[in-house]
Amino acid sequence: MSGALIDGKAAAAALRADVAEAALTLPRKPGLAVVLVGDDAASQVYVGSKEKAAGKANINGQVHRMPGSSTQAEVLAQVKALAEDDAVDGILVQLPLPGHLDADEVIATIPPEKDVDGLTEASAGALVLGREGLTPCTPQGSMRLIRQVMPDLSGKHAVVVGRSILVGKPLALMLLAANATVTMAHSRTKDLGAVCREADILCVAVGRPEMVTADMVKPGAIVIDVGINRVAEKKLVGDVAFEGAKEVAGHITPVPGGVGPMTIACLLANTVAASARRQGVPVPEKLR
């Protein structure tokens, strides 16, 4: 019997509607600034999607496009100018940056209260310490999808496959904060299949096409596939072998249409939350 699909598109649409409604309640319209350096084709598409989505969510979205030849000093100056702009509530530097630039130094220039991507050391530290702050969008989106199926995670065993600072580590911390028992697995984990089969909630973010197969999934588990990989004939697949896994899982995210749509929706939610805090009003409950 096939597992129920977790519809990320529908969940993202609902969150965007909540964001748009919340934005209208603030004294000032929220502002999101994206810094795009160079002409990477994928980045151009991503930024265009973010700009369009911001407008629909009653957010003032602006894109600062800089040539690929921009120096470190020029990029830092742009980010610092946005940091000092009171009309800007959220700053996002589109990654990857051209190879000659130091992305870590650029990200570190973003004030924590405007770090809507949740990538600064201060944001990571707040997450570790369990303090209020802006969390990375993809892990946040994954948590929203998990809670849609299972609101109370207390005592559940979650396995996170992948230990990146963008997804794996912050997602594990979020699951811990929700009182799940968390195991982190990775390329050096012995008998990965056995570890995955223990999971009530299995989250996979490794960037390897269909690495997790049906025999690695516990019957009835929630499976969150964060991966998106382009294979033969431009087909997109996740890190989980979907066709087999869906016959075992209780609930599973498809690729595409699962976690992906939630990333931009959570970026918008972070922007409105950041704007609310900066304007001294409570963050709307639906965006927490």
Q: Is 72 marked active-site?
A: no
Phi, psi of 240 (to 5 degrees): -110, 135
Q: Indicate the residue type of 224.
A: I
For the chain, how are helix, strand and coil distributed in percent, rounded to 5? 40, 15, 40
Q: What is residue 62's three-state secondary structure? A: strand
Catalytic member of 50, 169, 218, 246:
50
Q: Is 114 marked active-site?
A: no
Q: Is 50 marked active-site?
A: yes
Q: How far apart are CA 148 and CA 269, in angstroms?
A: 17
Tokens at residue 256, please? Answer: 């595409």
Catalytic member of 18, 78, 89, 94:
94
Q: Is 91 annotated as a binding residue?
A: no
Q: Is 228 annotated as a binding residue?
A: yes
Contact 205, 167 (CB under 8 A): yes
Tokens at residue 223, please? Answer: 């499976």
Work out the number of other CB atoms within 10 angstroms of the CB of residue 21.
15
Q: How far apart are CA 245 and CA 216, in angstroms?
A: 8
Catalytic member of 89, 117, 225, 239:
117
* DSSP-assigned beta bridge partners for residue 37: 66
Residues tagged in the binding site annotation: 162-164, 228
- Residues with catalytic function: 50, 94, 117
